[in-house]
A and B are shown apart, each in its own frame.
Chain A
């Protein structure tokens, strides 16, 4: 494949507004969209703002929307577009713009803090943890998450309804709750933390109506909906309507 000139449209602006700017830029064999953004910086727009780090799909920094679809700039090869196709890059829509392709993702860090942390079992010292591979595998899938926040960006609960942000943690952090809930040695219950109830009552699990948009954009191919959110919903529902649990709660409350 020989080099060619591609037509790019890149959103440039800041919190006060902005628009798409046209660029004609060289593309070489094997390149990804981030390479082209870097070429724009080096040759045409030195102050074009973009986040990136590893350029290998491992850190989740270079999230943006390419032709309207949330993607990692470093893992989107130019060969997926036709040579005549215009490639349009815009910042993540669900978060406020800082400048150009950089958005304010602090929403995600705020939500991360609201999930109660792993609770180590009181009776095990460091080095005494024993877990079977089959049992850690489920949570390990969710720990593949690179926190690119593409799922948070695409989830229509927050993408289309800004007002839901307060009550809804988003797929990434509901998955974090599921991960901890499935951790074989998490002792949250001993500390009085009910992760299932928390998912429902504190993190807005009920808002999710399992359209699987999050799973579709996940660059790590984590089955967020099927393996994290649906099982968490099932467990939360069991918890909520299980008559024994209900009775137990009543009794305990009475005692207290």
Chain B
């Protein structure tokens, strides 16, 4: 039997980004004892990298804004594949979630009359994003972090212990959700620092682990984004949806090579920046799709006038939703009109005075100066698409964030699916984290309360703990491969990771083809077999090679979901573009592709790793509520909905 430290809490939150911290705050305020587990130090989560802002229809800058308009924009951005109920709740509750942050000490940029300033962003009809320069994510994470400290101070005053009701277990990785029959009963993981195992028994677990971007070579995501929550959910028996939809942010840095993929905020365009090709042409005017024809400027003059007079002009096409802009850049580069390092030019230097650029985009100014020797107040940036966000995730109940089929499991933020449909609008992520983070915390707390009354699940049994420990320790005995039934030499986890990233980037990237995706599935099968033999040197104390070897399981599972679902969906929509099926198909709008583990017993890995681990099924979307459909013109709906749906 392995040495495992054990503790008991009411609610466990996995992940300490915006969604996780907001969930934890809520669970604690509901009176539950809440443990937060995160892979990094407290306050370092990927949310800090969000730049542009939080979308919320407060109407501070344009009074025409309200939740209905925000809802409409969100559905259009997602090409109507969004779960309408999530989009509705999100649009309705986002303003309250932003205002609440001010009561916890957040300091947003202000309007002249002292309210929270709001900026323009792609796909949003009105200026809607609450922001702090271009470091909004940092403000969000710090505010939530400080709110947690404030609650801990209250607990200290009352009980003498800061961590009596709310504790952050930092630099810990969860590798398994533990179950009592169908129900969740806790989590298993290891401390990164010491390598020691721990198990926390808890009736409710909230997954808030973010995305999967580290499976791709060019990405804006940090090392933490290895699809942990996606994999944990699958292994616990919960399905994922919409995994074929991966957002490639149109503007990542392309040079120098070591920074390729680092994000260049959409605020650059929101504040007036324009995209040009090597011929100096503002090419986005050539890429306005039919569904958006009436809503975007047809000439540069009109687009430029819009910044000053948005009521009488249409917005410039640089502010189309991200999927459209990313595809356009990709096409320009392919047509030979790219910049010297394989991107296009993004220019603010000719659009705004240097002081304004430095004030509104300080971290972009700093980032380009420090990392690329480019002064964005004097010359254009070179940018190209970078893997940024996964729309797909755990299939959840829209109101409660409860995962389908696994009582006690909840998911919020990027790891949850449905909210953003096939493509997320910029600014809708931070608001999503807050709205559904709070809901997940609330309903996880209620669930934990109920289970306290009706009987907590049994504590995790030794068998589960031993299996989880054996799985985590396998990389240390990888040399004895044959003993594990997978003959061959030990594999370097770093090499496997690089090959995975290359395969996903090349074969399931921004533009997809059936043959390439089949090839990707073939390569994933090979990598999966080899990953069973991923071996590491040294000991368990803060050993990054070991950590990566464990994370590979999760990246491979998430990657297989993306590749299988993408191969199945024979149309192009949002963050899923197929060269061989370039049209959007109204019949496909009604379909969610659901991914489940093929071996539902949750066996540690299918004994034959060459076999696929993911089973796909099609599921029909619930019809959109009539009053919500009524927010759109019929002319627009016919572009998305089938005739049958329209006549119902």
Contact = CB atoms under 8 A, between A and B. Distances in A.
Interface of A: 14, 28-32, 35, 41-43, 46-61, 75, 77, 98-100, 102, 105, 109, 112-113, 116-118, 120, 126-127, 129-133, 136, 139-140, 143-147, 180, 183, 186
A147 B42 CA distance: 10
Contact of B49 (A48, A59, A102): A59
Contact of A41 (B112, B256, B494): B494
B30 interface: no
29 contacts: A30-B255, A30-B257, A30-B259, A31-B257, A32-B259, A42-B494, A52-B223, A53-B44, A53-B48, A54-B46, A54-B222, A55-B262, A58-B48, A58-B138, A59-B40, A61-B40, A61-B41, A75-B370, A98-B193, A98-B541, A117-B147, A118-B104, A120-B104, A126-B102, A131-B114, A133-B112, A143-B139, A180-B105, A183-B105
Interface in B587-607: none
A56 B537 contact: no
Interface string B220-246: 001110000000000000000000000
Interface stretch (B92-100, B275-283, B347-355, B555-563): B92-100
B44 A47 contact: no
Contacts of A42: 492, 494-495, 498
B258 A132 contact: no
A32 B258 contact: yes
Given A29-B257, A41-B494, A56 B545 contact: no
Contact of A31 (B142, B156, B258, B363): B258
Contacts of A75: 370-371
Q: Most chain-B Cβ atoms within 10 A of its Cβ — which of A48, A139, A140, A186?
A: A140
B197 interface: no
Nearest to A140: B107
Given A46-B492, A48-B544, A49-B543, A59 B110 contact: no
A109 B42 contact: yes
B99 A126 contact: yes
B473 interface: no
Nearest to B42: A109
Q: Most chain-A Cβ atoms within 10 A of its Cβ — which of B42, B44, B96, B139?
A: B44
B403 interface: no
B639 interface: no
Given A126-B96, A136-B107, 13 more contacts: A14-B541, A41-B545, A47-B537, A54-B49, A54-B222, A56-B49, A56-B371, A100-B542, A102-B542, A105-B41, A127-B58, A127-B95, A147-B43
Contacts, number: 174
B150 interface: yes
A-B CB proximity, top 5 nearest? A30-B256, A118-B105, A46-B545, A47-B538, A117-B150
Nearest to A50: B544
A53 B542 contact: no
Contacts of B255: 30
Contact of A46 (B137, B139, B256, B544): B544
Nearest to A114: B153
Interface footprint category on B: 35 or more
Contacts of B153: 113, 116-117
B183 to A, nearest CB: 34
B217 interface: no
Interface string B107-124: 111101111010000000
B222 to A, nearest CB: 5
Nearest to A112: B149
Contact of B542 (A31, A32, A99): A99
B128 interface: no
Contacts of B146: 117-118
A61 B44 contact: yes
B103 interface: yes
Given A98-B542, A139-B107, A56 B44 contact: no
A14 B139 CA distance: 34
Given A30-B258, A117-B153, A47 B138 contact: no
A36 to B, nearest CB: 10
Contacts of A140: 107, 109, 132-133
Interface in B262-281: 262-263
Interface in B144-166: 146-147, 149-150, 152-153, 156, 162
B46 A47 contact: no
B546 interface: yes
B416 interface: no
A144 B146 CA distance: 14
A32 B463 CA distance: 46
B536 interface: yes
Contacts of A41: 494, 544-545
Given A99-B541, A126-B103, A46 B370 contact: no
Contacts of B112: 133
Contacts of A186: 105
Nearest to A31: B258
A49 B41 contact: no
B586 interface: no
B614 interface: no
A180 B103 CA distance: 13
A79 B75 CA distance: 47
A117 B149 contact: yes
Contacts of A48: 544
B547 to A, nearest CB: 10
B367 interface: yes
A116 B105 CA distance: 12
Q: Most chain-B Cβ atoms within 10 A of its Cβ — which of A109, A116, A132?
A: A109
B193 A183 contact: no
A45 to B, nearest CB: 9
Nearest to B224: A53
Nearest to A53: B222
B493 interface: yes
A113 B152 contact: yes
A49 B370 contact: no
A41 B546 CA distance: 11
Interface in B326-380: 363, 366-367, 370-372
B553 interface: no
B48 A132 contact: no
A113 to B, nearest CB: 6
B371 A77 contact: yes
A129 B149 contact: no
Contacts of B100: 126
B135 interface: yes
Contact of A56 (B41, B150, B263, B541): B263
Contacts of B48: 53-54, 58-59, 146
Given A51-B41, A126-B96, A132-B110, A57 B102 contact: no
Nearest to A145: B142
B222 A143 contact: no
Given A31-B256, A31-B258, A139-B107, A127 B370 contact: no
Given A50-B544, A77-B371, A126-B102, A35 B258 contact: yes
A116 B493 CA distance: 45
A168 to B, nearest CB: 19
B544 A127 contact: no
B102 to A, nearest CB: 5
Contacts of A143: 107, 132, 138-139, 142
